Amino acid sequence: MSQSIEQLLFGLHPLERTVLAVFRDEPAAWDHQLAQRTGLDESRLSMAFGWLLSKEVLCVEQDRTSKFVSLTELGRRYATELIPEQRIVQALQAGTRLLIPDLRERLGLDQLEVSTAVGNLKQHGVARIGQGGVLELAGVGLPSQVIGEQGMTGLIGLLAASATPVGEETLTENHKTILEDFIEKRWKTRGIIKLHEKVSKRFALTDLGRELVQRLPAESAAGEVSQLTPEMLKDGSWKGKRFRKFHIDLKPPRIGAGRVHPYRQFLGEVQAKLVSMGFQEMRGPLVESEFWNMDALFMPQFHPARDIHDVYFAKGLAPADDIDPALLERVAVTHERGGGGASTGWRYAFDRARARQMILRSQGTAVSARTLAGGPRVPGKYFSITRCFRYDQVDATHAPDFFQIEGIVLDPTITFRTLLGLLKLFAVELARADEIKFLPAYFPFTEPSVELHVRHPKLGWMELGGAGLFRPEVTTPMGVTVPVIAWGLGLDRMAMVAMGLHDIRDLFATDLEFLRTLRPPSVSIETGETGPGA
């Protein structure tokens, strides 16, 4: 027995000594008291507790569970903006005429927010749905359980003001009622508030621990060495010294490391694959003219995807000045009448000023258009991974901006069959799919056009990309006389499956803990050359 106490004492870690020192005066203490007395942070303290419990020096005398609440990301948004109910009421008070389907677009709410908020407003008699589905105020204001100090907004404000989760027992009765309501009824429909449970523990010395503590001061004076120093090595004084033994099987403290973003790693592997297939990378600007984004691609100016509800327009920027006027003219007459070739054109009046208008790049093909007009190599293969922007409500399937992977191939020997061959190569190399399907597709700038569908091991049949041969109306005005394949791939869903994600916004997540632990997605792109079972 005394032998084992010797060993125990010998192997005590400085953290354990610090914690045990508190028990010289106290037979037992709560974890938060120990934190205060030792000045150790939570992670170190919990390491020391873990070790001392496993050595049966300490035991847990008592524990109690406390509940804490904090805001979710959505809740934090509501804290800075207004809650949907308030936004709807404000809009109605301002005289705005709102139909239910308008709410999403007009107030930037998602479907769930709309249905919850409208349900709530109806339930409290604040608003009703009038003739023709028009939302109207019923004359009653938002009740205090929604907007007062003691209401929902008050609770959100309180939680937003606190840097750490707030103890549930410190909340007022009204707030507790609101909380219960959230957790019982709307927990799943509108996650504003998170509930965490935290267990507090009261630690006490075991018999062994009491014995250990008694011998603690004497032992620390015994001249045992915990750290080998350069001086000891220089003067040889390490000789004859006793070194404290470590418990080398204990869990080490956690460190943060440098790490590539998992989505970036995925895109990097796609990049490497494309380069290995002979593709040269292209880049282009985020803010683009309508010319490069659409006109040069023979998308008529009346095309539905060019609408104010499909593309973001940049405010107050000078018209583009990087368009060769002769090229603009050739493109214009091609839209209007086919440009003198075998084409009839779209047969409408092309607005040349509109071509110079600046928008946010909505498709990566804009970069291909610039390459085509800039004297590309023949034969040549090009690709780009570009950030694109579309006028879409941000939700689980739409990020504010996203990556498109696309490119072109120029070669006098290209035919529709080589295009299919290239797509098949992509399916094998990028999705490891051996079952593929080609379906007719439509893009304004290609003819014939095709969609590539592959059978993904987890997702089943999915569309992997679209492609086609550029129409002569695209290539001829740019002086390109060889056939050109245009292709685009949608790999986000594959990346998400590989990372175990269900929400596309998580590809751009802002939670560092999540990024530090997110599974890297390299499994989705295996080369097949290495590893067993590939």
Is the separation of the CB atoms in 399 and 520 below 8 Å?
Answer: no
Question: How is residue 433 written in tokens?
Answer: 């799919």
Position 233 contacts other proteins (CB under 8 A) = no
Interior CA angle at 8 toward 252 and 238, to 5°? 80
| Contact between 67 and other proteins per CB under 8 A | no
Q: Is residue 424 within the footprint of other proteins (CB under 8 A)?
A: yes
Tokens 């205060």 sit on residue: 36
Segment interacting with other proteins, rule: CB under 8 A, options 166-174, 175-183, 363-371, 492-500: 363-371
**Shortest approach of other proteins to residue 131 CB, angstroms?**
9
Q: How far is the CB of 374 from other proteins (least distance, A)?
A: 5
Distance CA 329, CA 52 (A): 81
Q: What is the smallest separation between the CB atom of 476 and other proteins, expressed in angstroms?
A: 10
Residue 252 is classified by DSSP as P
Could you give the maximum distance between any two Cα atoms of the chain, in Å? 103
- The smaller minimum CB distance to other proteins, of residues 151 and 376, is found at 376
Residue 288 within binding range of other proteins, rule CB under 8 A: yes
Tell me if residue 97 falls in helix, strand or coil. Answer: coil
3-state secondary structure of 71: strand
Residue ranges in 321-350 that form contacts with other proteins under rule CB under 8 A: 322, 338, 341-348
Residues 247-266 interacting with other proteins (rule: CB under 8 A): 254, 256-261, 263-264
Length of the chain: 534
Angle, helices 262-276 vs 492-499, to 10°: value is: 130
Q: Which stretch binds other proteins (CB under 8 A): 18-26, 120-128, 151-159, 421-429?
A: 421-429
Calpha distance 182→188 (Å, rounded): 9
Judged by beta carbon, residue 321 or residue 529, the one nearer other proteins is: 321
- Are 290 and 306 spatial neighbours (Cβ–Cβ below 8 Å)? yes
In this structure, which amino acid lies at residue 340?
Answer: G
Minimum CB separation of residue 318 from other proteins in Å reads 4
Q: Within positions 491 to 520, which residues make up the interface with other proteins, using CB under 8 A?
A: 507-508, 510-513, 515-516
DSSP 8-class letter at 136: E
Determine how β-strand 127-129 pairs with β-strand 280-281: unpaired
Task: Choose the stretch contacting other proteins; rule: CB under 8 A; options: 30-38, 213-221, 229-237, 389-397.
Answer: 389-397
Q: Does residue number 401 form part of the binding site for other proteins (CB under 8 A)?
A: yes
Please answer whether residues 485 and 469 qualify as being in contact, where contact means their C-beta atoms are separated by less than 8 angstroms: yes
Closest CA to 452 of 483, 478, 431: 431
Nearer to other proteins among residue 30 and residue 391 (C-beta):
391
Give the footprint of other proteins on residues 425-484 (CB under 8 A).
Answer: 425, 437-442, 444, 447-450, 469, 471-473, 483
User: Does residue 296 touch other proteins according to CB under 8 A?
Assistant: no
- What distance in Å separates the CA atoms of residue 263 and residue 495, rounded to the nearest whole number? 7
User: Which one of 116-124, 197-205, 237-245, 268-276 is the stretch in contact with other proteins (CB under 8 A)?
Assistant: 268-276
| Nearest distance from C-beta of residue 391 to other proteins, angstroms | 6
The residues near 102 (Cβ < 8 Å, ≥ 6 apart) are none
Name which of 102 and 168 has its Cβ closer to other proteins: 102
Q: Map the footprint of other proteins across residues 132-151, applying CB under 8 A.
A: 132
CA–CA separation, 418 and 422 (whole Å): 6
Nearer to other proteins, 44 or 202 (CB): 44
Query: What's phi and psi for 532, nearest 5 deg?
Result: -75, 150
Q: Which two tokens stand for residue 421?
A: 């061959």
How near is the Cβ of 195 to other proteins at its closest, in Å?
15
Question: Is 389 an interacting residue with respect to other proteins (CB under 8 A)?
Answer: yes
Q: Pick the binder of other proteins from 399, 478, 486, 494 (CB under 8 A).
A: 399
Q: Which of 380, 432, 455, 462 binds other proteins (CB under 8 A)?
A: 380
36 is a contact residue toward other proteins (CB under 8 A): no
Q: Which stretch binds other proteins (CB under 8 A): 59-67, 145-153, 372-380, 519-527?
A: 372-380
Q: 275: which 2 tokens?
A: 């380069």
Asked whether 151 and 178 are in contact (CB, 8 A), the reply is yes
Give the bridge partners for 382, in sequence order: 280, 408
Q: Which of 1, 302, 530, 533 binds other proteins (CB under 8 A)?
A: 302
Using an 8 Å Cβ cutoff, are 391 and 314 in contact?
A: no
- Among 143, 191, 284, 520, interactor with other proteins by CB under 8 A: 284
If the CB atoms of residues 15 and 399 are measured against other proteins, the closer one turns out to be: 399
Asked if 198 interacts with other proteins (CB under 8 A), we say: no
Residue 295 contacts other proteins per CB under 8 A: no
- Residue 317 in the binding site for other proteins (CB under 8 A): yes
Question: What residues have CB less than 8 Å from 341, skipping those under 6 apart?
Answer: 334, 472, 473, 476
Closer to other proteins by Cβ: residue 341 or 479 = 341
Q: Which residue has the tokens 């999705």?
A: 431
Closest CA to 468 of 296, 297, 290: 297
- 526: tokens are 């295996």
CB distance 48 to 18 below 8 Å: yes
Out of 212, 213, 274, 332, the residue judged to bind other proteins by CB under 8 A: 274
The span from the CA of 238 to the CA of 448, in Å, is 81
Q: Verify binding: residue 382, other proteins, rule CB under 8 A.
A: yes
User: Contact with other proteins (CB under 8 A): which of 1, 94, 163, 353?
Assistant: 163
Footprint of other proteins on residues 210-229 (CB under 8 A)? Answer: none
Does 281 help bind other proteins (rule: CB under 8 A)? yes
Sorted by sequence, the CB contacts under 8 Å of residue 152 that are 6+ apart come out as: 83, 145, 146, 178
Residue closer to other proteins, measured from CB, 10 or 391: 391
Q: Is 416 a binder of other proteins (CB under 8 A)?
A: yes
From candidates 66, 96, 200, 276, binder to other proteins by CB under 8 A: 276
